[in-house]
Amino acid sequence: MATESEARKEAIRSLRLWGIDSTIRQEHTRFQEKTLMVVAQCFSGRQQEMQRSKPKMLPDDPNLAVKMVLRAEVKDFNKPRYRLLEDNIKDPSLLFQYPYYSKLHTSFDPDLFASGKLNYVVKLAFKKINKRELDPLARFSEKLCTKKELFLDRWMNPDSGESVQGHIIEAIIVSHAIYNEACYNCKARKVLRWNGGPGAPWTDMECICCDSAYYIQGGCYAGFHNLHGQSRKNGWKHYLVLVSRMKSFALFPDKGPGFHQCRTVQIAEIKTVLPRLQPSCFIDGVYKDRRMTIKSEIKTKISPITWFKIPYQPVSYASILMQVMEEFFPGVAEELAVGALNFELDEADTDRAAEQAVEVDVEKNVPNTEEPQGDKSSMEDLRSLLQNMATADSWEDLSD
């Protein structure tokens, strides 16, 4: 696990990527101090304790598993108020992206170069925007919304960090593993269970024999420390699980002769995570009565390796999604003015989900600072997106 000093250093780097510079403005100094206090609480054990949830079975039918996971996400996510984040930048291609990137100083001073200190430069696309507009404390705002509006915004935006693709991947992986795979740590069979949902962001799957946890998508920085502070059996391990981007084929005797298309599931043990700020931090961080939720960058012990392969099965997840939305928010399908949607989860979906869990080794290199942060859509954009989804052959048609 990273030391508090390493976590503080990474938090400051993340602040700088968003434009928070404590050497320039007093407001920035106060915000940095609050951010570092939140990070310090993760090491002091004073962070909010999360109750350990009970592992469950998922159906072996991937369609039913997807529906169960989506239902749990909506049912278990409850807040006193729901808010939508807004970016005041007008260019839709730049929404919710950090405007700076970091690089090593190019000074000819050998001592400065050897120190590894970073220089922060405005990205080319943001240079046309006034720096005051880029200040994250003024750039982001929020508006109250209903729970329905929140889930429409989250799930219908394919570039969202909390988009529905990640939940689809989670359901498919866990459903297969429960009935077909052994725990990667203790090697016992029939012991894997689903443990996902809003209440278990770092344990999407869990072994009921050795307590090892499997992370597929989602998870805040404090939640990681909370998990590692829980009482668990000696020898338990924490793994990152993701789906390979490469198409592959394998023999599946129960599927008939010859090679069959499949998805390769990879795994690596998590070494630690480092704090990474997200746009909502710059709203929550200015209110004394709000808890700032910081996201994470994952650092694994080794590069992910193949764990198992899943036979490819078309999942009509758009129709399942609309069924779940209609169950909790009656009339939403009519409001969006779309009919029955039915298309397959394609490789582009797995690409997006895999990109949410990226190995980062800051001891060896600087993480990719050009990574997109996603964008948001209005209700009209959502209608257009859903209608495109109804006729697209794959997600690749939707990502342009």
- Digit-by-digit pLDDT tens for the chain (400 residues) are 789 999 999 999 999 999 999 888 899 999 999 999 999 988 886 555 556 778 999 999 999 999 999 999 999 899 889 998 899 998 988 989 999 998 876 655 566 555 557 788 999 999 999 989 999 999 999 999 999 999 988 887 655 556 788 888 899 999 999 999 999 999 999 999 998 766 677 889 999 999 999 998 765 667 776 777 777 888 999 999 988 767 788 888 778 888 888 889 999 999 989 999 999 999 987 777 788 889 888 999 988 899 999 988 766 678 898 899 999 999 987 877 543 333 344 444 444 433 333 333 333 333 343 433 433 444 455 444 444 444 333 332 223 3
Question: Which is nearest to 151 in space by CA: 382, 361, 344?
Answer: 382
Contacts of 18 (CB under 8 A, 6+ apart): 98, 99, 100, 136, 277, 282
Question: Which is nearest to 298 in space by CA: 225, 223, 361?
Answer: 361
* Count of residues in the chain: 400
Question: Which is nearest to 85 in space by CA: 162, 16, 153?
Answer: 153
Token pair 């964008």 is found at 375
* pTM: predicted TM-score of the whole model, two decimal places: 0.78
